[in-house]
A and B are shown apart, each in its own frame.
Chain A
Amino acid sequence: MSLDDKHITAKKSKAWDIELCDLRLGYGDTVVLEHVTDTFPGGKITAILGGSGCGKSTLLRHILGLRTPMSGQIYLDGRDIFTMPKKEFRRMRRRMGVLFQDGALLGALTLGENVGLPLTENTRLSKSVIRDVVRYKLSLVGLEEFADYYPNELSGGMRKRAGLARALVMDPPLLLCDEPTSGLDPINAAQMDQLLLSLKQEFPDMTIVTVSHDLASVKTIADHVLMLHNKTVIFAGSGEELYASEDPYVRRFLSRKAVPGKITGIELSSEVRAELDRWISQ
C-alpha cells in the first residue's frame, strides 16, 4: 500500500490519526528536534513524554500548525497540514480542542463566556443554545456552578478544567493537552487523568494527545507513548513497552534517578565564600 493509499484509507475512519514524517523542528537556526517519525493512533490516548525543555510543547505547536517545521510532514486525518489549502486547514483546526498549559483562558471573560467563545465567534447559534452547551461542557469537568466566575477567581486546577471544557466545546475529534497535570497536587492531577479517561469513554472516536513529564499520569492514561531526549525520539510504543525498555535514559527517567556526576559545575573561591558568610551572619 502506497503512502497516499494509506492516507486515503485513514481518512475514511472517524478517528483522526496523526502521522509525523521525519520532522525537523526549531526556532530560527536552532534545531530543537530532528528525525521525528511516528504515528499517533486515532481514537487512542498518546502521551509525548520527556524532560523539561526537550521540545514536547514545540512538537505540539507544530501539530497545531502554529509553527512550520524546518523539514518533514505532519499528516492529520491523512492530510498534510502544511500543503493543504489554508482555508481547509483553518476549518480542520476549528475542530481541534486544545488545552494550554495554564488553560489560556481570556482574563476579560467569565468562565461561561470563555467556554462559549468558539461558538459565539464561529457559529450563528442562539444565545440560549450556547448557554445550554456551555452548561453541559462545564458539567463534564465539574464546573457548572462557576460559569460566572472570572479566571483569576479560580485555582490553577479549576482553570485547567475550564480550559478543557473550552477545548471540548466543538466536540473535537482531536484533543491536544499541554501538560494537563503540571502544577496540580496529586489528587487534582489524578482527577484530571480520570477526566481524560472518562472523555475517552464518552467519545470513543476522539484522539487525545497529551504532553507530559508526569510518569504516574502517563502510566494511567496512555495507550501510546512517544519519548523525546537529546533532540530526537528515543522511544515510541505502548506504555507496557516503555516500562520494558532497556534504554538507559528511559530506565533512569522511569526510576527518577539523577544524572551521575557532580551537581554543581564550579565552586566558590574561598574569598567569595568568606565575604558571603560575613554578610549572611550579620
Chain B
Amino acid sequence: MQPAKEPARFPANLGVPAIRFIDEAGSMLLFLLSALRRIVSPHQFSKIVAQIYVIGAQSFFLIALIGIFTGMVLGLQGYYTLVQFGSEGMLGAAVALSLIRELGPVLSALMIAGRAGSAMTAEIGVMRITDQIDALEVMDINPISYLVSPRIVASIIAFPMLTAVFDVIGILGGYLTGVVMLGINSGVYFYRIENATTMTDVSGGFAKSVAFAILVTLACCYKGYMAHTRTDGAGPVAVGNATTSAVVLSCVFVLMADYVLTSVLL
C-alpha cells in the first residue's frame, strides 16, 4: 500500500511570509503613529535642530554634487533629443520640469536614505544592542519620543530644503552643458524655465519630498529600533543587516510612493 501523500505545502509557504509582511506593516504603522504622537513634547527643539544638522547640513555637498551631474546629463541628453526636432530652445523647460517634478525629490530622497538614513539605522541599532534603549526606558524616557520623533520632524524640514538645492544646482548643471558647452542662448534657457514651470510643479515636488522624508525616516528608524528581533543575525551582524534592509526598504518606499503621488498630482 502506497503511503498517503503529504498535503501540498504551497499555501502554507505562501501564507507564512504574507502574515509576516502584514504583521511588520502593522507594526511599522503603529511605530509611526507613536512617533507622530510624541512630536510635540518638551525638550524636542534642541534634538530637532541637531538632527537637521545631521540630515540636512551634512548631506548638502553630496546633494549638490549629485544635482550638478544629474543636471549636466539631462542637459546633454535633452539637447541631442530636442535638436532632432529643432526645438533645442525648450531645453531649459525640459531640464527644470524633469528636476522639479521627478528627479529632484526622488534622487534627493535616495541619496539621503543612503547617507543619513543608513547612519540613523546603524546608530539606533547599536543603541539597541548595547542596552542604551533599555536604559532610556528605565529612566522613564520614551525611546521613540527621544530618538524617532525629532528625526521625523528634522527630515520633514530638511528633505524639501535639500530637494530645492538639488533642483537649483541641477538647473545650473543643465545650463553648463546646454548653454556653456553646446551654445544654446542663455536668455532662451531661463525664459523657457520661467514660462513652463508653474507653482503646482514646485509644490508637487515639495509634497513628494515631505512624503519621502516620512517614509525614509520611518524605514530607517524602525529597522534600527527592531535590530534585536532580527532572525538573520545577532549583535553587530544584526545591525549591519538592519542597515542594508533599511536602505533597500527606503528606496522601494520612495519609488512606490513616487508612482502613487505622481498619479495623484498629475
Q: State the A residues within 8 Å of B (CB).
A: 61, 64, 66, 90-91, 93-94, 96, 98, 100-102, 104-108, 117-118, 120-122, 166
Q: Please, how many angstroms separate the alpha-carbon atoms of A176 and B134 in the complex?
A: 13
Q: Please, how many angstroms separate the alpha-carbon atoms of A210 and B129 in the complex?
A: 21
* Contact between chains at B146 and A93 (CB < 8 Å): no
* Contact between chains at B135 and A104 (CB < 8 Å): yes
Given A98-B135, A100-B135, A104-B135, A118–B140 Cβ distance below 8 Å?
yes
* Contact between chains at B130 and A117 (CB < 8 Å): no
- How distant is A134 from chain B, measured CB to nearest CB, in Å? 14
B262 within 8 A of A: no
Minimal Cβ-Cβ distance residue in B for A89: B140
Residue of B123, B130, B136, B140 with highest tally of chain A CB at under 10 A: B140
Give the interface residue-count category, chain B: 10 to 19
* Contact between chains at B134 and A100 (CB < 8 Å): yes
* Contact between chains at A122 and B131 (CB < 8 Å): no
Given A93-B140, A98-B135, A121–B130 Cβ distance below 8 Å?
no
Q: Please, how many angstroms separate the alpha-carbon atoms of A102 and B141 in the complex?
A: 19
* Contact between chains at A107 and B132 (CB < 8 Å): yes
* Contact between chains at B131 and A104 (CB < 8 Å): yes
* Contact between chains at A118 and B139 (CB < 8 Å): yes
* Contact between chains at B141 and A104 (CB < 8 Å): no
- Pick the residue among B130, B134, B137, B140 that contacts A122 (CB under 8 A): B140
- How distant is B34 from chain A, measured CB to nearest CB, in Å? 14
* Contact between chains at B139 and A120 (CB < 8 Å): no
Q: Please, how many angstroms separate the alpha-carbon atoms of A101 and B130 in the complex?
A: 9
Q: Which residues on B sit within 8 Å (CB–CB) of A120? A: 43
- Pick the residue among B43, B132, B138, B140 that contacts A106 (CB under 8 A): B132
- How distant is A97 from chain B, measured CB to nearest CB, in Å? 9
Q: Please, how many angstroms separate the alpha-carbon atoms of A66 and B138 in the complex?
A: 8
Minimal Cβ-Cβ distance residue in B for A121: B141
- Pick the residue among B127, B132, B137, B139 that contacts A66 (CB under 8 A): B137
Q: Please, how many angstroms separate the alpha-carbon atoms of A251 and B127 in the complex?
A: 39
* Contact between chains at B127 and A122 (CB < 8 Å): no
Against A, the Cβ 8 Å flags (1 = close, 0 = not) of B132-174 are: 1011111111000010000000000000000000000000000
Minimal Cβ-Cβ distance residue in A for B50: A108
Minimal Cβ-Cβ distance residue in B for A57: B131
Against A, the Cβ 8 Å flags (1 = close, 0 = not) of B110-136 are: 000000000000010011001110111
Q: Please, how many angstroms separate the alpha-carbon atoms of A261 and B134 in the complex?
A: 40
Q: Please, how many angstroms separate the alpha-carbon atoms of A98 and B127 in the complex?
A: 16
